[in-house]
Amino acid sequence: MVLNVNEFRYINPAQRILLGPGPSEVPPRVLQSMAAPCVGHLDPYFLATMDETQHLLRFLFQTENALTISVPGTGTAGMEACLVNMLEPGDEAVICVHGAFGARMCEMVERIGGKLIRVDQQWGKSTDPEAVRKAVKGRGPKLLAVVHGETSTGVLQPLQDLSAIAREAGALFMVDMVTSLGGMDIALDREGIDVAYSGTQKCISCPPGLAPISFNDKAMKVLRGRKTPVLSWYLDMSLVENYWGPARKYHHTAPINMVYALRESLRIIADEGLEPRFARHKLNHRALVAGVEAMGLKMLVPEAERLPTLNAITIPEGVDDLKVRKALLEEFGIEIGGGLGALAGKIWRVGLMGHSSTKRNVFIFLAAMQSILKAEGAKIKNGAIEAADAVYKKVS
């Protein structure tokens, strides 16, 4: 085969405003860090970088857990890493499902050979703790798992009651923090979370490709007491911990430059400070919602259960979902997401995560959406920018 290299374009994508469910915009400092020289995965410089990354991840997870690392892959790799290490065939696992990613956990439990106890809730609402309590009663589940910020619906799940239920049942409490870590105040040690995972491409504002995870001592005791080997060799934390720990035992060739990027993203978070960062995400969410509702649009999720980092907007009757999203991308360079599963064609998912969560982006989105919807003939009210601005002025 003969190839003409001129047939292949240079990588030069158009500049986008990333306001979808992920990835979020990546700061220039993070992109620049990825261009640093690649060294060996056991090079002293990289080993020191790994230690620093662990320290910064503990700061972000708000934990003292020794096994707090990143595994190669996106948030789903983190999900799988947690489940395959904690569960053995026949183990009971209670999974709270109020969106697509809770359902994904269920599929993984069944593939592992676990005994699935599924607690379903209508998409757009958080899981009722009483339903979980009833599901657990009379059983001895090994694991209770829930998605904290459900990316598919924009639902924020309260954790306190579920954490207490897990403790009462003697179960591990596992939390999906993919769309909340770095954008919301969620502390592993304070919340009683035994196992957690996230992804780099959401509120951390690092390119997709790594999944931060954290196991506490209780989870590590379960891991070390397994009767059967972890089903995934690559994601076996009893092996991986020896690479990230003092032994530095070879397990795999780490994605060197992605770890550089994660470390720099975490440095940016530490520079900003957790409390100001969380407040920024909440403020921009409130301003966006005020503008959306001023247009006459409705949010899918009740106010008390809304996820500030991912906003689910109900599509007005008669408006073409794909046509609006295409216009946003082609005319304004704005990317948002559509609905998944039963919500396909019914909602828009607008992310305000990490580097994308700014006043500028809120105003640009509201102005662009108002313009496009009017052009489509939708009955849209004026005043979106003014409503959002009023929110900002109250805190200035």
Q: Tell me: the pLDDT tens digits for 263-274?
A: 999 999 999 999
Q: Is the pLDDT of residue 1 over 90?
A: no
Query: Measuring CA to CA, which residue among 366, 329, 328, 324 is closest to residue 345?
Result: 324
Query: Measuring CA to CA, which residue among 93, 61, 108, 50 is closest to residue 222?
Result: 93
Look up the CATH number of domain 28-271: 3.40.640.10
Q: Is the pLDDT of residue 5 over 90?
A: no
What are the CA-CA distances from residue 304 to residues 96, 243, 321 (Å)?
A: 19, 42, 26
**Which two tokens mark 374?**
């009017």
| Cα gap 211→228, rounded to integer Å | 25
Q: Is the pLDDT of residue 396 over 80?
A: no
Average pLDDT (80-99) is 98
Q: Tokens 């708000």 map to which residue?
A: 62
**Residue limits of CATH 3.90.1150.10 in the chain:** 274-395
pLDDT score recorded for residue 307? 98
Look up the CATH number of domain 274-395: 3.90.1150.10
Q: What pTM did the predictor assign?
A: 0.96
**Residue limits of CATH 3.40.640.10 in the chain:** 28-271
Confidence of residue 3 (pLDDT cuts 50, 70, 90): confident
Average pLDDT (125-142) is 96
| Cα gap 235→82, rounded to integer Å | 9
**Which two tokens mark 49?**
């970088």
Average pLDDT (100-120) is 98
Q: Is 265 helix (H, G, I), strand (E, B) or coil?
A: helix
pLDDT score recorded for residue 20? 98
| Cα gap 306→89, rounded to integer Å | 36
User: If you average pLDDT over every residue of the chain, what do you get?
Assistant: 97
Average pLDDT (134-156) is 97
